[in-house]
């Protein structure tokens, strides 16, 4: 027998032996010696089992995928009634945990199932004194079923294959949180409108720079996020988690980043200063979107070159420590989000585009990987080596405003724009039909650019120009979108013409902008002053 065949036989023999140390329901990785990831049917069957074992785990669904799969939701609570109305009336802090938005990044899904098993056995009871926890373990359920050995090349397992990054439409859900063109993103927005979670985690895997971290994380990065939410998440919460996991488990955590090489997919352009660069700030990404909704949105990225088993463990420990902190600070979390909801943004200056902020220099732990072969495909996979090489470099781990605009009292959308109204309604943004006010402004388009390359089925656009008083009477019925509402930050991002992640930027208004000299959405005359604080 050849050496490769012998290795494959040994791996298969291990895969047939369940994890002896576990009792009760096993997740598919445990049943296969961490060679395989859970399929959709595995997830739903596991949820049924743990819910039957514990009165604290309630099952529901919160929407459907593009291919018609129900999106499972586990609601962990001591409440008997876990309807959205009852949960919101309970006075408890609501935490939402999301796995598998990219279905090749699967350890979040598996770690969440392990946590639910722990809850069914009576662990983490302290959480439920102050929290209600919503768990969506298999968010990209369509992509999860497209198992192939060559998905996520170089990632160290699951060696028997994993799902795909896009959903059943071929779209990346984690670029869809502003435009809402996937049923999954719409389902998540509907869940937010129903349950109004205060804290939200999105669990991923990163395969970039060879560093020495087991997991990297990020707070909301958009500069328009409420400053108290950013200060607490970035300055207290995540550093506390980092210290705790280092002390308990020896894991190294840090702010998400990469050191760009010849070309970078993120913020740094080729030839940029060598440094540690985070990712895109725009709210098409989940945790930035949640931040603009005045909520604590947290991204986690386990390291692709850890073994699959280690990645599940690391992700699980991160989630546990984040939820521990939330339980200890539940009242404060609710107070800060409520204050952000009440903040009047009218007359404040907010960003329509952003640029990286340079801080540091600071030590970054660089590392190395070794090359192995997947015994099933023969392809190269990389394994993190126990090498830690500190390198001092500047940090680019957050953003500041690049261009700004004053927030008006309200925006006025033509009543004929039913598609815009539908998207605003899906986000939960409040508006009403009105006759046109006497003082209105329109945005004169001086120039526009359109990206050559296609992204998610769109060619991104940029508009340039300025707001000016409307020189003539305006008739008809308009949809008035007030800025003084809890989702005012999000409304600003979606409706301002120069916003780099709004409806115009995604090309959703092209039919109204063809050969036009003015932006079709008007606004009430801007208040020409600034509030002292965001």
Q: Are 499 and 505 in contact (CB under 8 A)?
A: yes
CATH number for 194: 3.40.630.10
Task: Note whether residue 368 is domain-resident.
Answer: no
Facing residues of 440 across strands?
524
Looking at the DSSP bridge assignments, the partners of residue 410 are: 482
In angstroms, the Cα distances linking 239 to 130, 235, 236 are 22, 7, 6
Residue 161 · residue 375 · CB < 8 Å: no
Q: Is residue 134 one of the residues assigned to a domain?
A: yes
Check whether residue 334 and residue 469 sit in a common domain.
Answer: no
- Regarding whether 421 and 330 lie in a shared domain, the answer is no
Domain boundary among 298, 321, 344: 344
Q: Is 445 helix (H, G, I), strand (E, B) or coil?
A: strand
Cβ proximity of 57 and 76 under 8 Å: yes
Beta bridge partners of 303: 206
Rounded to whole angstroms, the maximal C-alpha distance in the chain is: 86
**DSSP 3-state helix, strand, coil percentages of the chain (rounded to 5)?**
30, 25, 45
For 85, list phi and psi in degrees, rounded to 5. Answer: -65, -45
Residue pair 160/148 in contact (Cβ under 8 Å)? The answer is no
140 phi, psi to nearest 5 deg: -95, 70
pLDDT tens per residue across span 61-101: 999 999 999 999 999 999 999 999 999 999 999 999 999 99
Assess whether 340 and 409 both reside in one domain: no
Output the pLDDT for position 438.
84
Please tell me whether residue 13 adopts helix, strand or coil conformation: helix
Name 207's Cβ contacts closer than 8 Å, sequence gap at least 6: 152, 154, 155, 304, 305
Contact 224, 350 (CB under 8 A): yes
Give the residue from 333, 251, 260 showing the smallest Cα distance to 300: 251
Q: Are strands 57-64 and 70-76 parallel, antiparallel or unpaired?
A: antiparallel
Based on the fold, state whether residues 326 and 434 are members of the same structural domain. Answer: no
- Interaxial angle between packed helices 308-328 and 238-249, expressed in degrees from 0 to 180 and rounded to the nearest 10: 130
Residue 101 to residue 290: CA distance in whole angstroms: 15
- Three-state SS for 296? strand
My answer on whether 338 and 413 are in the same domain is: no
- Strands 389-406 and 349-366, bridge-based pairing: antiparallel
Over 164-193, what HEC string results? Answer: CCCCCCCCCHHHCCCCCCCHHHHHHHHHHH
Q: How many helices and strands (H and E) does the chain possess?
A: 16, 19
Cis peptide before 314 (omega within 30 of 0): no
pTM: 0.93
Closest CA to 466 of 414, 393, 404: 404
Backbone angles phi, psi at 430, to 5 degrees: -80, 140
Residue 382 lies in a domain: no
- Tell the burial category of 235 from Cβ atoms under 10 Å away from its Cβ (0-12, 13-18, 19+): exposed
What separation in angstroms does the CA of 519 have from each of 67, 112, 380, 459, 504? 36, 45, 51, 18, 9
Q: 52 and 185, same structural domain?
A: yes
Are 462 and 331 members of one domain? Answer: no
- 55 in a structural domain: yes
pLDDT (tens place) for every residue of the chain, 534 residues total: 333 333 333 444 444 444 434 567 999 999 999 999 999 999 999 999 999 999 999 999 999 999 999 999 999 999 999 999 999 999 999 999 999 999 999 999 999 999 999 999 999 999 999 999 999 999 999 999 999 999 999 999 999 999 999 999 999 999 999 999 999 999 999 999 999 999 999 999 999 899 999 999 999 999 999 999 999 999 999 999 999 999 999 999 999 999 986 444 444 555 578 999 999 999 999 999 999 999 999 999 999 999 999 999 999 999 999 999 999 999 999 999 999 999 999 999 999 999 999 998 999 999 999 999 999 999 999 999 999 999 999 999 999 999 999 999 999 999 999 999 999 999 999 999 999 888 899 999 999 999 999 999 999 999 999 999 998 878 889 999 999 999 999 999 999 999 999 999 999 999 999 888 999 999 998 565 555 445
CA distance 196 to 94: 7
Q: Do 431 and 328 share a domain, yes or no?
A: no
- At 452, is the secondary structure helix, strand, or coil? coil
Q: Which domain holds residue 137?
A: 28-344
* 164/259 same-domain check: yes
Last residue of a domain, one of 293, 322, 344: 344
Tell me the chain's radius of gyration from C-alpha atoms: 24
Place of tokens 């049923």: 183
Looking at residue 22, its pLDDT comes to 53
- Answer with the one of 326, 344, 362 that is the final residue of a domain: 344
Say if 373 falls within a structural domain: no
Report the SS3 class of residue 227.
helix
Residue 12: inside a domain: no
Kindly write down the DSSP assignment for every residue of 338-364, as one continuous string.
HHHHH---TT-EEEEEEEEEEEEEEEE
Integer Cα distance of 126 and 129 in angstroms: 6
On whether the CB atoms of residues 155 and 304 are closer than 8 A, the answer is yes
Domain identity same for 302 and 438: no
Identify whether the C-beta of residue 339 lies closer than 8 Å to the C-beta of residue 244: no
Same domain, 425 and 325: no
Cis previous bond, 493, omega within 30: no
Count of structural domains, the chain: 2
- What is the rounded distance in angstroms from the CA atom of residue 342 to the CA atom of residue 165? 37
Residues 340 and 413 in one domain: no
């Amino acid at each position: 027998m050849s050496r490769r065949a012998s290795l494959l036989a040994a791996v298969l023999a291990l895969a047939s032996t369940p994890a002896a140390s576990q009792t009760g329901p096993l997740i598919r990785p445990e049943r296969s010696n961490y060679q395989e990831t859970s399929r959709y049917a595995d997830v739903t069957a596991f949820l049924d089992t743990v819910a039957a074992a514990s009165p604290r785990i309630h099952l529901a669904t919160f929407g459907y995928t593009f291919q018609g799969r129900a999106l499972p939701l586990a609601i962990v609570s001591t409440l008997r009634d876990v309807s959205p109305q009852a949960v919101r009336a309970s006075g408890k802090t609501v935490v939402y945990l999301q796995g598998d938005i990219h279905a090749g990044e699967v350890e979040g899904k598996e770690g969440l199932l392990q946590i639910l098993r722990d809850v069914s056995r009576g662990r983490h009871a302290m959480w439920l004194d102050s929290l209600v926890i919503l768990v969506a373990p298999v968010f990209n359920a369509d992509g999860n079923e497209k198992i192939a050995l060559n998905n996520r090349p170089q990632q160290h397992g699951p060696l028997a294959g994993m799902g795909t990054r896009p959903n059943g439409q071929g779209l990346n859900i984690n670029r869809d949180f502003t435009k809402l063109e996937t049923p999954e993103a719409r389902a998540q927005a509907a869940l937010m409108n129903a349950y109004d979670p205060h804290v939200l985690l999105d669990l991923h895997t990163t395969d970039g720079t060879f560093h020495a971290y087991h997991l990297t994380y990020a707070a909301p990065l958009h500069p328009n996020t409420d400053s108290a939410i950013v200060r607490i998440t970035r300055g207290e919460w995540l550093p506390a988690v980092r210290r705790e996991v280092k002390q308990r488990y020896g894991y190294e955590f840090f702010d998400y980043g990469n050191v760009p090489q010849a070309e970078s997919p993120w913020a740094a352009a080729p030839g940029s200063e060598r440094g540690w660069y985070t990712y895109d700030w725009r709210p098409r990404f989940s945790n930035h979107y949640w931040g603009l909704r005045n909520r604590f949105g947290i991204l986690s990225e386990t390291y692709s070159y850890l073994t699959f088993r280690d990645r599940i463990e690391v992700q699980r420990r991160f989630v546990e420590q984040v939820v521990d902190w939330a339980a200890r600070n539940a009242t404060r979390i609710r107070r800060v989000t409520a204050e952000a909801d009440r903040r009047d943004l009218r007359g404040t200056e907010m960003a329509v585009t952003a640029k990286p902020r340079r801080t540091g220099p600071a030590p970054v732990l660089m590392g190395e990987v070794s090359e192995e072969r997947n015994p099933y495909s023969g392809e190269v996979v990389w394994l993190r080596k126990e090498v830690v090489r500190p390198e001092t470099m500047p940090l680019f781990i957050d953003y500041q405003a690049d261009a700004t605009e004053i927030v008006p009292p309200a925006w006025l959308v033509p009543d004929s724009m039913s598609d815009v109204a539908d998207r605003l309604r899906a986000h939960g943004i409040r508006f009403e039909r009105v006759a046109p006010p006497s003082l209105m402004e329109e945005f004169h388009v001086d120039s526009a650019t359109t990206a050559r390359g296609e992204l998610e089925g769109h060619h991104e656009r940029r508009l340039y120009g300025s707001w000016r008083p409307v020189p003539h009477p305006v008739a008809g019925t308009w949809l008035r979108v007030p800025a003084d509402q809890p989702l005012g930050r999000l409304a600003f991002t979606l409706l301002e013409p120069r916003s780099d992640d709004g409806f115009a930027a995604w090309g959703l208004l092209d039919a109204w902008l063809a050969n036009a000299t003015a932006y079709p959405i008007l606004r009430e005359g801007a208040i020409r002053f600034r509030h002292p604080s965001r």
